[in-house]
Amino acid sequence: MSADYVISPPPQPTIAVAGSSKVFPVRRIWCVGRNYIEHIREMGQDERLPPFCFAKPADAVVADGSTVPYPSLTKDMHHEVELVVALKSGGRNIPVAKANDCIWGYGVGIDLTRRDLQIASRDLKRPWEIGKAFDHSAPCGPLKPVSEVGHPTKGKITLKCNGKIRQDGDLNQLIWNVPEIISNLSEMVELVAGDIIMTGTPSGVAATVAGDKLECEVEGVGKLTVTIGSPLK
Protein backbone atom coordinates (compact mmCIF):
# COMPACT_ATOMS: atom_id res chain seq x y z
CA MET A 1 0.00 0.00 0.00
CA SER A 2 1.43 3.37 -0.98
CA ALA A 3 2.04 6.11 1.57
CA ASP A 4 -0.47 8.90 1.98
CA TYR A 5 1.81 11.76 0.95
CA VAL A 6 0.94 15.34 1.88
CA ILE A 7 2.48 16.52 -1.41
CA SER A 8 3.17 14.59 -4.62
CA PRO A 9 6.38 12.58 -4.19
CA PRO A 10 9.23 13.84 -6.39
CA PRO A 11 9.90 11.83 -9.56
CA GLN A 12 12.43 9.01 -9.44
CA PRO A 13 15.64 10.12 -11.23
CA THR A 14 16.74 7.65 -13.90
CA ILE A 15 19.51 6.99 -16.41
CA ALA A 16 18.83 5.51 -19.85
CA VAL A 17 19.97 2.00 -20.71
CA ALA A 18 21.65 1.70 -24.11
CA GLY A 19 19.51 -0.06 -26.71
CA SER A 20 16.56 -0.46 -24.35
CA SER A 21 13.40 1.34 -23.34
CA LYS A 22 14.17 0.39 -19.73
CA VAL A 23 15.85 2.85 -17.38
CA PHE A 24 18.12 2.58 -14.33
CA PRO A 25 16.67 4.17 -11.15
CA VAL A 26 19.19 6.36 -9.33
CA ARG A 27 19.28 6.30 -5.52
CA ARG A 28 22.48 8.17 -4.67
CA ILE A 29 25.41 9.55 -6.64
CA TRP A 30 28.81 8.97 -5.05
CA CYS A 31 31.91 10.61 -6.52
CA VAL A 32 35.60 9.90 -6.03
CA GLY A 33 37.99 12.84 -5.79
CA ARG A 34 41.65 12.74 -6.85
CA ASN A 35 41.70 9.28 -8.39
CA TYR A 36 44.10 9.98 -11.32
CA ILE A 37 47.66 11.15 -10.56
CA GLU A 38 47.92 13.67 -13.44
CA HIS A 39 44.69 15.35 -12.28
CA ILE A 40 46.05 15.60 -8.70
CA ARG A 41 49.17 17.26 -10.16
CA GLU A 42 47.22 19.74 -12.31
CA MET A 43 45.19 20.70 -9.22
CA GLY A 44 48.39 21.20 -7.20
CA GLN A 45 47.36 18.66 -4.54
CA ASP A 46 49.43 16.22 -2.48
CA GLU A 47 49.69 13.11 -4.63
CA ARG A 48 50.53 10.88 -1.65
CA LEU A 49 47.12 11.40 -0.05
CA PRO A 50 44.52 8.74 -0.88
CA PRO A 51 41.40 9.47 -2.97
CA PHE A 52 38.23 10.41 -1.07
CA CYS A 53 34.48 10.56 -1.64
CA PHE A 54 31.74 13.13 -1.88
CA ALA A 55 28.17 13.05 -3.19
CA LYS A 56 25.73 14.70 -5.54
CA PRO A 57 21.93 14.55 -5.29
CA ALA A 58 20.30 11.85 -7.43
CA ASP A 59 18.24 14.43 -9.31
CA ALA A 60 21.42 16.10 -10.60
CA VAL A 61 21.50 13.50 -13.39
CA VAL A 62 21.11 14.87 -16.92
CA ALA A 63 20.36 12.69 -19.95
CA ASP A 64 22.55 12.23 -23.01
CA GLY A 65 21.78 14.83 -25.67
CA SER A 66 20.54 17.42 -23.19
CA THR A 67 21.39 21.08 -22.88
CA VAL A 68 22.76 21.81 -19.41
CA PRO A 69 21.90 25.32 -18.20
CA TYR A 70 25.00 27.25 -17.16
CA PRO A 71 24.74 27.30 -13.35
CA SER A 72 24.33 30.35 -11.16
CA LEU A 73 27.05 32.03 -9.06
CA THR A 74 30.10 30.67 -10.93
CA LYS A 75 32.49 32.18 -13.43
CA ASP A 76 34.51 28.97 -13.76
CA MET A 77 32.50 25.80 -14.41
CA HIS A 78 34.77 22.85 -15.25
CA HIS A 79 34.12 19.53 -16.98
CA GLU A 80 35.40 16.29 -15.43
CA VAL A 81 34.76 13.19 -17.57
CA GLU A 82 34.39 10.04 -15.47
CA LEU A 83 33.60 6.33 -15.70
CA VAL A 84 30.19 5.73 -14.09
CA VAL A 85 29.48 2.50 -12.20
CA ALA A 86 25.84 1.53 -11.56
CA LEU A 87 25.08 -0.87 -8.70
CA LYS A 88 22.46 -3.65 -8.70
CA SER A 89 23.18 -4.57 -5.09
CA GLY A 90 25.24 -3.31 -2.20
CA GLY A 91 25.98 -3.87 1.43
CA ARG A 92 28.40 -2.81 4.13
CA ASN A 93 32.09 -3.73 4.31
CA ILE A 94 32.07 -5.35 0.88
CA PRO A 95 35.37 -7.21 0.27
CA VAL A 96 37.30 -6.10 -2.83
CA ALA A 97 37.00 -9.63 -4.21
CA LYS A 98 33.18 -9.49 -4.01
CA ALA A 99 32.73 -5.89 -5.19
CA ASN A 100 32.22 -6.61 -8.89
CA ASP A 101 29.23 -8.80 -8.00
CA CYS A 102 27.39 -5.58 -7.00
CA ILE A 103 27.74 -3.93 -10.41
CA TRP A 104 24.83 -3.77 -12.85
CA GLY A 105 26.69 -1.86 -15.54
CA TYR A 106 28.81 1.05 -16.65
CA GLY A 107 28.53 4.36 -18.45
CA VAL A 108 30.28 7.68 -18.93
CA GLY A 109 29.40 10.85 -17.06
CA ILE A 110 30.59 14.36 -16.32
CA ASP A 111 31.19 15.66 -12.79
CA LEU A 112 30.40 19.29 -13.59
CA THR A 113 32.11 21.51 -11.04
CA ARG A 114 31.79 25.17 -10.10
CA ARG A 115 35.56 25.27 -9.61
CA ASP A 116 35.72 28.77 -8.16
CA LEU A 117 33.11 27.90 -5.53
CA GLN A 118 34.65 24.48 -4.82
CA ILE A 119 38.07 26.04 -4.20
CA ALA A 120 36.58 28.82 -2.07
CA SER A 121 34.81 26.18 0.06
CA ARG A 122 37.96 24.08 0.27
CA ASP A 123 40.05 27.06 1.38
CA LEU A 124 37.49 27.94 4.07
CA LYS A 125 37.31 24.25 5.16
CA ARG A 126 33.61 24.30 4.30
CA PRO A 127 31.60 21.51 2.57
CA TRP A 128 31.79 21.11 -1.22
CA GLU A 129 28.09 20.94 -2.10
CA ILE A 130 27.88 24.42 -3.58
CA GLY A 131 30.79 23.63 -5.90
CA LYS A 132 29.87 20.06 -6.76
CA ALA A 133 26.25 19.17 -6.00
CA PHE A 134 24.31 21.81 -7.92
CA ASP A 135 21.33 21.22 -10.22
CA HIS A 136 22.18 19.46 -13.51
CA SER A 137 25.73 18.72 -12.31
CA ALA A 138 25.79 15.03 -13.27
CA PRO A 139 25.22 14.34 -17.00
CA CYS A 140 25.26 10.56 -17.58
CA GLY A 141 25.26 8.69 -20.88
CA PRO A 142 23.27 5.50 -21.45
CA LEU A 143 24.38 2.60 -19.25
CA LYS A 144 25.44 -0.78 -20.58
CA PRO A 145 25.11 -3.96 -18.50
CA VAL A 146 28.06 -6.07 -17.37
CA SER A 147 26.74 -8.81 -19.67
CA GLU A 148 27.70 -6.54 -22.61
CA VAL A 149 30.82 -4.72 -21.43
CA GLY A 150 32.27 -6.93 -18.68
CA HIS A 151 34.28 -5.08 -16.03
CA PRO A 152 36.49 -2.61 -17.94
CA THR A 153 39.92 -2.04 -16.34
CA LYS A 154 41.58 -0.29 -19.27
CA GLY A 155 40.51 1.79 -22.24
CA LYS A 156 40.60 5.43 -23.24
CA ILE A 157 38.47 7.94 -21.36
CA THR A 158 38.15 11.17 -23.32
CA LEU A 159 36.33 14.48 -23.44
CA LYS A 160 36.19 16.74 -26.48
CA CYS A 161 35.01 20.34 -26.28
CA ASN A 162 33.75 21.66 -29.63
CA GLY A 163 35.60 18.84 -31.37
CA LYS A 164 38.94 19.45 -29.66
CA ILE A 165 40.38 16.91 -27.20
CA ARG A 166 40.59 18.30 -23.68
CA GLN A 167 40.78 15.19 -21.50
CA ASP A 168 42.54 12.03 -22.65
CA GLY A 169 43.19 9.38 -20.02
CA ASP A 170 42.94 5.63 -19.58
CA LEU A 171 41.00 3.60 -17.05
CA ASN A 172 44.25 1.81 -16.20
CA GLN A 173 45.38 5.08 -14.54
CA LEU A 174 42.77 4.86 -11.75
CA ILE A 175 44.49 5.04 -8.34
CA TRP A 176 41.62 3.20 -6.61
CA ASN A 177 40.23 0.72 -9.12
CA VAL A 178 36.47 0.08 -9.22
CA PRO A 179 36.35 -2.84 -6.74
CA GLU A 180 38.54 -0.85 -4.33
CA ILE A 181 36.21 2.17 -4.63
CA ILE A 182 33.15 0.02 -3.87
CA SER A 183 34.88 -1.66 -0.94
CA ASN A 184 36.07 1.68 0.47
CA LEU A 185 32.68 3.38 0.09
CA SER A 186 30.92 0.43 1.73
CA GLU A 187 33.01 0.97 4.86
CA MET A 188 31.69 4.55 5.07
CA VAL A 189 28.04 3.95 4.14
CA GLU A 190 25.79 1.06 3.17
CA LEU A 191 25.68 0.81 -0.61
CA VAL A 192 22.31 -0.06 -2.12
CA ALA A 193 21.00 -1.06 -5.56
CA GLY A 194 20.48 2.13 -7.57
CA ASP A 195 23.58 3.85 -6.24
CA ILE A 196 25.93 5.12 -8.94
CA ILE A 197 29.57 6.02 -8.56
CA MET A 198 31.51 8.59 -10.58
CA THR A 199 35.03 7.22 -10.33
CA GLY A 200 37.20 10.33 -10.73
CA THR A 201 38.56 12.33 -13.62
CA PRO A 202 41.79 12.19 -15.62
CA SER A 203 43.79 15.38 -16.24
CA GLY A 204 42.72 18.10 -18.63
CA VAL A 205 39.85 19.59 -16.66
CA ALA A 206 39.05 23.08 -17.93
CA ALA A 207 36.39 25.75 -18.05
CA THR A 208 33.31 25.23 -20.18
CA VAL A 209 30.95 28.01 -21.25
CA ALA A 210 27.54 28.50 -22.84
CA GLY A 211 27.48 27.11 -26.38
CA ASP A 212 30.13 24.43 -25.78
CA LYS A 213 29.44 20.93 -27.08
CA LEU A 214 31.00 18.33 -24.77
CA GLU A 215 31.52 14.85 -26.25
CA CYS A 216 32.69 12.13 -23.88
CA GLU A 217 33.63 8.52 -24.45
CA VAL A 218 34.89 5.59 -22.47
CA GLU A 219 36.30 3.11 -24.94
CA GLY A 220 34.12 0.02 -25.13
CA VAL A 221 31.62 1.42 -22.61
CA GLY A 222 29.74 4.29 -24.12
CA LYS A 223 29.38 7.90 -25.10
CA LEU A 224 27.75 11.07 -23.80
CA THR A 225 27.12 14.38 -25.53
CA VAL A 226 25.76 17.49 -23.85
CA THR A 227 25.63 21.15 -24.76
CA ILE A 228 26.15 23.93 -22.24
CA GLY A 229 23.29 26.39 -22.43
CA SER A 230 22.59 29.86 -21.16
CA PRO A 231 21.98 30.45 -17.45
CA LEU A 232 18.43 29.83 -16.24
CA LYS A 233 16.53 33.09 -15.77
Q: How far is the CB of 104 from Mn ion (least distance, A)?
A: 21
From residue 177, how far is each of 29, 99, 105, 197, 231 by CA, in Å?
Answer: 17, 11, 15, 12, 36
Residue 66 carries which side chain, given as an amino acid letter? S
The candidate with the shortest Cα–Cα distance to 105, out of 88, 89, 81, is: 88
From residue 8, how far is each of 11, 135, 137 by CA, in Å?
Answer: 9, 20, 24
Residue nearest to Mn ion (CB): 111
Q: How far is the CB of 42 from Mn ion (least distance, A)?
A: 13
Q: How far is the CB of 99 from Mn ion (least distance, A)?
A: 20
Residue (13 or 109) nearer to Mn ion, CB = 109
Residue (145 or 169) nearer to Mn ion, CB = 169
**Which residues are near Mn ion by CB under 5 A?**
80, 111, 201
Residue (131 or 145) nearer to Mn ion, CB = 131
Q: How far is the CB of 110 from Mn ion (least distance, A)?
A: 9
Residue (17 or 216) nearer to Mn ion, CB = 216
8-state DSSP, 102: G
| Contact between residue 94 and residue 88 where contact means Cβ atoms under 8 Å apart | no
